[in-house]
Amino acid sequence: MTASLAGSEGVAGVTAPAGSEGPERALAPAGSEGPARVAAPAGGGEPARVAAPSVTGTVPAIPTVPNTPDTPTTPDVVCLGESMVTFLPTRPGRLADVPAFTRAIGGAESNVACALAAAGHRVRWVGRVGRDGFGDHLVEAIAARGVDVRAVGRDPRRPTGIYFRTAADRATDAHEVAYYRAGSAASAMSPDTVPYDSVADGRILHLSGITAALSADCLALMRELTAPRPGRPLVSFDLNYRPTLWPGGPAEAGPVLLDLARRADLVFVGADEAAQVWGLPDPEAVVAALPEPTVLVVKLGEHGALAVDRTGAADGGEPVVVRVPAPRVDVVAPVGAGDAFAAGFLSATLRGLGTRAAIRHGHLMAAAALTVPGDLADPPRRAHADRLAALDDTAWGTLHLGPGWTGDDQEVRTP
């Protein structure tokens, strides 16, 4: 199986086009319409179209954090969200037919944290788990990957969330997930249980839309963390729309997720997600609906990814749009690509590599995740990833990555 790297779920059957990677003129956002809301469709029907919004507050550049012995615990990135123990099937089939499962860990934000730590960054994961065996396992497993877990809360009354899933691609109807997270310890995260100081001292704060769906308290926390304020770290937000977490469907999720995305500095959104939750038919509509983020990354499935960089807009410059195709990948398990893509993009952003390089590093990190059985993978060594990310457009367009490609001694195949 081959797959694109940029889609939020690792869409199968893709050959990435080579070619138009160079900067283009920005897709014109609808800037003269004034703020707008997502209209809630009656009865949970089709999501409404989104007009261009407006928010107040300034968008910061990535704050510079001294990398000195005086600040050895200052994180590059803080990732906040629920992590759960996941049970992976020992063979394909319906949940009803799978006789046994193996234990692993899962959680969008902790996946990003683990991938960034493996790439050499200082990372803190902030979450909340039960004071139980599953909570012990999560904290120990994430810490073992080099992530700072000292700010994780332990809840004596609420359990750690768990879930079971099938082996099928999440993009297919055969995929099943059974969550046991209602009333979990993570659902009790709130402005009262998560001190702001525990998440605000990094260069980047990474969040996702999953947290907003867990409870009213979690949504209040997300709104506090994304509110404009002096000294706020750069806020990265991955839409991560999960229909099963929103009983009201797009009518409930759409306005909430749109508001959070508009408050963020860097936003990741799959074009398929945007169509599902906001009724936006194409990348141009997504760009028009989200003019606030300094950088907006739209994942395009088989067509790779598109990033709109508005860094120079404050000085009167034009936003720049960069499209980068995804290399072909021999997929082992079609999960974890979206989180890995975000980690690769954030890693390159921290290193100041530029937008095109950041997209390519996102693709490469996603390829590492897609070529292993679970959600987490060891990334390629930095020099190896840098060499591939620096290929010219023609060579990049012929990349074909399979299991084991992240090793320095592995050949990267071309057609």
Q: Is 339 a catalytic residue?
A: yes
Rounded to the nearest 10 degrees, what angle do helices 337-350 and 355-370 cross at? 140
Distance CA 124, CA 138 (A): 14
Q: Locate 96 and state its tokens.
A: 């009803």
The CA-based dihedral angle spanning residues 208, 211, 213, 217, taken in that order and rounded to the nearest 10 degrees: -140
Residue 91: CB atoms within 10 Å? 10
Does the CA dihedral 341-347-350-356 come out positive or negative? negative
According to DSSP H, which parts of 155-194 are helical? none
Residue 43: CB atoms within 10 Å? 7
Q: Locate 379 and state its tokens.
A: 């990334």
Q: Of the listed 265, 339, 378, 393, which one is catalytic?
A: 339
In a 13 Å sphere around the CA of 204, the CA atoms on its Cβ side amount to 28
The reported pTM is 0.83
Rounded to the nearest 10 degrees, what angle do helices 133-144 and 108-118 cross at? 30
Question: Is 306 in a helix, a strand, or coil?
Answer: strand
Cα 319 from chain centre:
23
Question: What is the pLDDT, as a whole number, of residue 22?
Answer: 43
Distance CA 197, CA 181 (A): 27
Measured between alpha carbons, how far is residue 145 from residues 28, 115, 209, 347 in Å?
42, 9, 24, 16
In a 13 Å sphere around the CA of 165, the CA atoms on its Cβ side amount to 23
Does the CA dihedral 332-338-339-341 come out positive or negative? positive
CB-CB contact of 5 with 366 (8 Å): yes
Identify residue 282 by its one-letter amino acid code.
D
**pLDDT tens sequence for the chain (415 residues):** 444 344 433 322 223 333 345 443 333 333 333 333 333 333 344 444 444 333 333 334 454 433 433 356 789 999 999 999 999 899 889 999 999 999 999 999 999 999 999 999 999 999 999 999 999 999 999 999 999 999 999 999 999 999 998 876 555 667 788 889 999 999 999 999 999 999 999 999 999 999 999 999 999 999 999 999 999 999 999 999 999 899 999 999 999 999 999 999 999 999 999 999 999 999 999 999 999 999 999 999 768 999 999 988 777 788 999 999 999 988 887 778 899 999 999 999 999 999 999 999 999 999 998 888 766 778 889 999 999 999 999 999 999 998 888 875 444 443 4
Distance CA 165, CA 179 (A): 9
Instruction: Point out which residues pair with 321 in neighbouring strands.
Output: 24, 308
Longest dimension (CA), the chain: 61
Question: What is the pLDDT, as a whole number, of residue 403?
Answer: 87
Q: Locate 361 and state its tokens.
A: 């590093």
The CA-based dihedral angle spanning residues 327, 330, 336, 341, taken in that order and rounded to the nearest 10 degrees: -10
Distance CA 166, CA 146 (A): 29
Q: Name residues whose C-beta falls within 8 Å of residue 96's C-beta, 6 or more positions apart in sequence.
A: none
